[in-house]
Amino acid sequence: MSWIKNIINKIKREIEYRKRIKELKKRDPFIYK
Amino acid sequence: MKEKIALIAGCSHSAGSEIDGRLDCSYNRNNSFGSLLADKLGYRPINIAINGASNTGIARSILMWFDEHYDSESMDVYVIVGWTESSRLEIPAKHRPSDFHSGNPAVDWYDSSANSYLRINYGWEGNDPEERAMVPNYQKFMTENETYLEYQAATNVLLVQYFLKSLNVPYIMCNTMHMFVPDDHYVSYLLKMIDSKCYYNFDKGQDDSFYWKYRNLGYENTKAKYWHHSEEPHRLYAEELYKFIGEQQ
């Protein structure tokens, strides 16, 4: 059953990452060339 | 008699970007907080700030300018540094040179070493297919290593402080965007070594940085497309810095 736990943890980490990068994009939204 | 020069380094906020709606022009640079502060201090401003610069790029531009121009016999230099968002990365990429000079036509001197780097921040997705493939990987690294990037920002600050001290060159530093979480366990070791007498509000967090402070106070530049401030916040910030310098003497 450890593979299920691994998948669940991976999904949790991905959700956490997407939430954080959404916040951080507001802090520094773009570089203009 | 020595020439009195104020070297102004930083990102778009130090370049006065979009004060009048344009990304870069002499009017904007002349009305940036750094140039206004230079005027108050009696120095001729040389503004080498570049739109979108990272802190490693800012530190390097100072070193490069000194390497190329500094002459202690003929110059009396004062350095004004506006540090930028600490998460920005510069990736060595000389196989695909960048051109940041054309986007900064009013810069007083351009550090051409910047052309060998690719710049990455949180919101930028890349200009071409190769960049768009590379950027998400770096952004993932940035998101998962915020403390590491703030630590690197602190090392850039220390690098420039010790470099200028070694030449006995006076300076003032400030944050224009987010730099540090002041009470971070790892970063605080380095923050203790920073000379706070020459660094305005260095340990007060994002809300006291130039951009966020005046934005939170309600200042809005209707001419700006990329959320930069207009004349008034620059004027007020130059006064803040001038007052701080006076208090430290």
Q: pLDDT tens digits, residue range B2-44?
A: 999 999 999 999 999 999 999 999 999 999 999 999 999 999 9
Confidence band, pLDDT 50/70/90 cuts, at residue A30: confident
B118: its two tokens: 């690719």
Residue B164 reports pLDDT greater than 60: yes
Q: Report d(CA B128, CA B10) in Å as an integer.
A: 26
With CB atoms and an 8 Å threshold, state whether A32 touches B177: no
A-B C-beta contacts closer than 8 Å = 57
SS3 category, B133: helix
Minimal C-alpha gap between B15 and chain A (Å):
13
* Planar angle of CA B81, B85, B90, nearest 5 degrees: 90
Q: Report d(CA B7, CA A6) in Å as an integer.
A: 53
Half-sphere exposure of A7 (CA within 13 A, CB side): 4
Closest residue of chain B to A24, computed from CA coordinates = B122
State the average pLDDT over residues B202-227: 93
- What's the full length of chain B, in residues? 249
* Partners of residue A33 in chain B, C-beta under 8 Å: 52, 98-100, 103, 127
Specify the pLDDT at position A32: 61
With CB atoms and an 8 Å threshold, state whether B98 touches A33: yes
Is this prediction's ipTM beyond 0.95? Answer: no
Q: pLDDT tens digits, residue range B46-85?
A: 999 999 999 999 999 999 999 999 999 999 999 999 999 9
Q: Report d(CA A29, CA B227) in Å as an integer.
A: 10
* Partners of residue A28 in chain B, C-beta under 8 Å: 85, 87-88, 121-123, 177-178
